[in-house]
């Protein structure tokens, strides 16, 4: 401990613009119970970090939060454990272990909750754009041995998000087609994960150079690329490339300018994973983009077009088993069928409106 520095160098934002990030220093912290001190080697940035710094990331703000309070930004780091606090330890890290931060520190399994979100790094909790930071032992994972520190630091947000979107979409991706938008962190992680999972990939970008670079990614190269600037109706091209079938998965990172097009080139039964809004956060009419509304509470919107015969039979058995009877609100005579229509349209009914056709 004697040679150890006594201060931490860090960057701060007061969420007042990218021009106003500033350097600062703070006393070196000591790890407490079930905590470790990490020397941070590499930090990767995410779109979110820019939003935080510009004061645009307010989705989970609480009354009384003060955005002008200096905050260390960023959430994704690779570093090395240099001191271990008192036990018992949830995870038994040792000095020298190479570790990655998890974005939402308390989200250990299952569905994310507001309580978990209160433990997000780089807002609301102090982030990782600093030389050292204390973490709870459960807020770290082991860095994969085959990756450099820089490479490994890219995993916590971009790759994990892409993993959830791509691998969570279908039980198997073999023979499926995945559409990725742009060549940012999430999309390129999604490309690697989808290709490694046996999927075909269509990748879009504003830049032919970036698309050419993606084409050079060997086994992770996309099968097809589209420049969305020179082909603004890229959804038509996606339909053409998939023989009119559409793609099975869209990793929807684009938002306002992409979601509606994605819905025009998704296959029947496909999955649109609503992730981001790099093309805009407001839909027409200044409404918040649907991606934003959906991802904010991690909800699933699913289109339903009736159901198959086997489900119908299953349902009938369920009705029988539970003695369920449909609720008939009103029965109209055959001659008053038009009245029945008006009645239904008026919305006065409860349950079903029926027309008695035969005496």
Residues interacting with ligand NAP, by CB under 6 A?
A: 46-48, 157-158, 161, 181-187, 204-207, 210, 228, 253-254, 257-258, 275-279, 295
Nearer to ligand NAP, 81 or 290 (CB): 290
Nearer to ligand NAP, 8 or 52 (CB): 52
Least distance (Å) from ligand NAP to the CB of residue 125? 16
Nearer to ligand NAP, 2 or 111 (CB): 111
Nearer to ligand NAP, 36 or 186 (CB): 186
Strand partners, 13: 71
Least distance (Å) from ligand NAP to the CB of residue 220? 16
Element (H, E) at 273: strand 266-274
Q: What residue ranges in 109-205 does DSSP mark as E strands? A: 132-136, 140-142, 177-181, 200-205
- In the numeric block, which tokens belong to residue 203? 């990748």
User: Phi and psi dihedrals of 154, rounded to 5?
Assistant: -85, -5
Least distance (Å) from ligand NAP to the CB of residue 295? 4
Please classify residue 72 by burial: count the beta carbons closer than 10 Å to its beta carbon, then call 0-12 exposed, 13-18 middle and 19+ buried: buried
- In the numeric block, which tokens belong to residue 123? 């807002």
Contact status, residue 123 vs residue 73, Cβ threshold 8 Å = yes
Least distance (Å) from ligand NAP to the CB of residue 273? 9
Contact status, residue 239 vs residue 227, Cβ threshold 8 Å = no
Residue nearest ligand NAP by beta-carbon distance: 184
Nearer to ligand NAP, 122 or 184 (CB): 184
Least distance (Å) from ligand NAP to the CB of residue 249? 15
């Amino acid at each position: 401990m004697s040679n150890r520095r006594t201060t931490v160098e860090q960057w701060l934002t007061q969420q007042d613009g990218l021009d106003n990030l500033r350097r600062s220093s703070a006393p070196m912290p000591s790890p407490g119970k079930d905590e470790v001190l990490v020397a941070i080697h590499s930090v990767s940035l995410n779109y979110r970090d820019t939003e935080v710094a510009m004061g645009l990331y307010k989705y989970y703000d609480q009354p009384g939060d003060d955005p002008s309070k200096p905050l260390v930004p960023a959430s994704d780091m690779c570093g090395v454990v240099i001191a271990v606090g008192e036990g018992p330890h949830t995870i038994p890290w040792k000095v020298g272990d190479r570790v990655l931060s998890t974005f939402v520190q308390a989200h250990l399994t299952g569905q994310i909750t507001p309580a978990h979100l209160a433990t997000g790094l780089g807002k609301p909790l102090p982030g990782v754009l600093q030389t050292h930071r204390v973490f709870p032992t459960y807020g770290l994972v082991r860095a994969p041995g085959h990756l450099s520190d820089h490479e490994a630091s890219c995993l916590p947000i971009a790759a994990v998000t892409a993993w959830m979107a791509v691998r969570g979409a279908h039980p198997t991706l073999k023979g499926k087609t995945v559409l990725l938008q742009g060549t940012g962190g999430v999309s390129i992680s999604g490309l690697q994960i989808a290709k490694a999972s046996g999927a075909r990939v269509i990748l879009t970008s504003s830049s032919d150079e970036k698309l050419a670079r993606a084409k050079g990614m060997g086994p992770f190269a996309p099968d097809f690329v589209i420049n969305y600037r020179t082909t603004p109706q890229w959804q038509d091209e996606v339909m053409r490339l998939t023989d009119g079938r559409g793609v099975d998965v869209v990793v929807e990172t684009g938002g306002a300018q992409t979601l509606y097009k994605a819905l025009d080139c998704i296959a029947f039964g496909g999955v649109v994973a609503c992730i981001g809004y790099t093309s805009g956060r407001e839909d027409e009419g200044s409404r918040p983009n649907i991606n934003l509304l959906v991802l904010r509470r991690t909800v699933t919107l699913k289109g339903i077009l009736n159901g198959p015969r086997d489900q119908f039979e299953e349902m009938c058995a369920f009705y029988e088993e539970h003695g369920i009877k449909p609720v008939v609100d009103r029965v109209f005579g055959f001659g008053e069928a038009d009245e029945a229509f008006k009645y239904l349209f008026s919305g006065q009914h409860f349950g079903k409106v029926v027309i008695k056709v035969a005496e």
